[in-house]
Structure 1
Amino acid sequence: MEDLELPKAAIFDLDGTLLDSVDLHALAWQEAMVKFGHDVTFEQVRSQIGKGGDKLIPVFLSEQQQNEHGRDLEEWRGNWFKSTYLPLVRPFSAVPKLLQRVRETGLRIAVASSAKKDELKKYLNIAAISGLVDVATSSEDVDESKPAPDIFEVVLKKLDIEGAEAVAIGDTPYDAIAARKAGIPTIGVLCGGFTEHSLREAGCVEVYPGPSTLYARFDDTALAK
């Protein structure tokens, strides 16, 4: 049996995958919901983190409510997150080491995030990976956020490769669903808080505790075979 060719690119999610930020995003969204009159719990919001605002807000607001104040709610959430929670965001351990290892293998590195463009630059700096990323996309590059495949499709176009030539790394079922729609296999990580069962059910081909384990076991992963 012939060995499969190595992938040409690794496409990383940011929040919950490389950055310990999921709870902070959930807090900001939950507080925004309450401020605008919606009785939504932290747990309810947290289960939706990984989606962009275009997918998250309709889970909790009716169409009429979205028309009335959906945009104001999302804007308030963004400003509140940046002023209150962004300074608290930290990377998971071994993130720069993992990306450096990916580069040494010969793969290109992309970031496929639902973050806003101004947040994205700050995230890359927080994770200390700005100089390691070849291509990055934000929510402003696409019409729909995950679990729609738009973000991954934009990355593939920028890299000029097919989905089967890449591997995605994400922490939510929404990452895996979006990547699968774009033809990309996904490695799941548990550090974002979703269960291994939910990640595998969404299509993850491998699941690891987090970036440090992915780095330590790199030669056994889909990134190296």
Structure 2
Amino acid sequence: MLRAVIFDVDGTLIDSVPQHAKAWQDAFRDFGHDFPLEDIRRQIGKGGDHLLPVFLSEAEIEERGEALEKHRAEILKTRYLPTIKGFPEVRALVERLLADGRHLALASSAKADELQTYKTIAGIADLIETETSSDDAEASKPDPDIFEAALDRLDGIAPDEAVVIGDTPYDAEAARKAGLRTIGLLGGGWTAEELMQAGCIATYRDPAELLAAYDRSALGAPAM
């Protein structure tokens, strides 16, 4: 029985992965590093705790990692946030889930203040009350902390009664560690094959395609 749905946000509900990648690239450049955009894009979905070690030494992270992350956040806000849009039919999908009695939560590697903005961009700020961000977890995805925090807030719902909707292998890996299944969406730039290999039970192009296939998807399972 499906009682709850836990949504990732970036690349799942809002079309923001290119902007995040560019903000990181700009920040790295300002700190003296020039990394290919595609290499950075494939790390989006992780928090800074997992992304920075891919590119920087432990010593540099210790010395300048916090400052670089703050700089990245400011770049995203001032240069790229105005270009971020919600994917089609996000609100309609959320409303359908609520009408079917599902409990909903957001579980994002974003900071809490960023997450509030993203809810507004997605058009669901008034629909979802339960959420967890990187501020609620010791480690970001692909560690399971954020999804485990979401489950804790969905009081009384077991992992096998919930499903995650995400867009990266890191979502699927983190969900699996928390005992959750994952539906993959392609908005983050990963292929369906890559998401299935990471453990997704099914993939769809975007929320609109998932909504169109709702009754045939894992979301169409009877609620308790």
Task: Give the TM-score range, shorter chain.
Answer: over 0.9
| Secondary structure class of the residue paired with 2:179 | coil
For 1:152, the equivalent position in structure 2 comes to 147
- Whichever residue aligns with residue 72 of structure 2, its letter is R
For 1:75, the equivalent position in structure 2 comes to 70
Whether 1:111 aligns to 2:94 is no
Give the superposition deviation at 1:134: 3.1
Aligned residues: 220
- Aligned-pair Cα RMSD in Å: 0.8
For 2:29, the equivalent position in structure 1 comes to 34
Question: Of the candidates 165, 182, 185, which is equivalent to residue 186 of structure 1?
Answer: 182
Whether 1:52 aligns to 2:44 is no
Q: What per-residue deviation string (whole Å, max 9, x for no partner) do you get for residues 4-55 of structure 1?
A: x2x1101001000010000000000011111111121101100100001111
Give the superposition deviation at 1:197: 1.2
- Whichever residue aligns with residue 138 of structure 2, its letter is D
Whether 1:64 aligns to 2:67 is no
Runs of 5+ unmatched residues, structure 1: none
The 1-side partners of 2:64 and 2:187 are apart by 33
The 1-side partners of 2:120 and 2:34 are apart by 35
The 2-side partners of 1:34 and 1:85 are apart by 16
Give the superposition deviation at 1:145: 0.3
Whether 1:126 aligns to 2:129 is no
Q: TM-score, normalised by structure 1?
A: 0.96
Q: Percent identity?
A: 53
Give the superposition deviation at 1:132: 1.4
For 2:215, the equivalent position in structure 1 comes to 219
The 2-side partners of 1:47 and 1:127 are apart by 23
Whether 1:208 aligns to 2:204 is yes
Give the superposition deviation at 1:103: 0.7
Give the superposition deviation at 1:84: 1.2
Q: TM-score, normalised by structure 2?
A: 0.96
The 2-side partners of 1:68 and 1:154 are apart by 30
Runs of 4+ in 1 over 6 A off after TM superposition: none
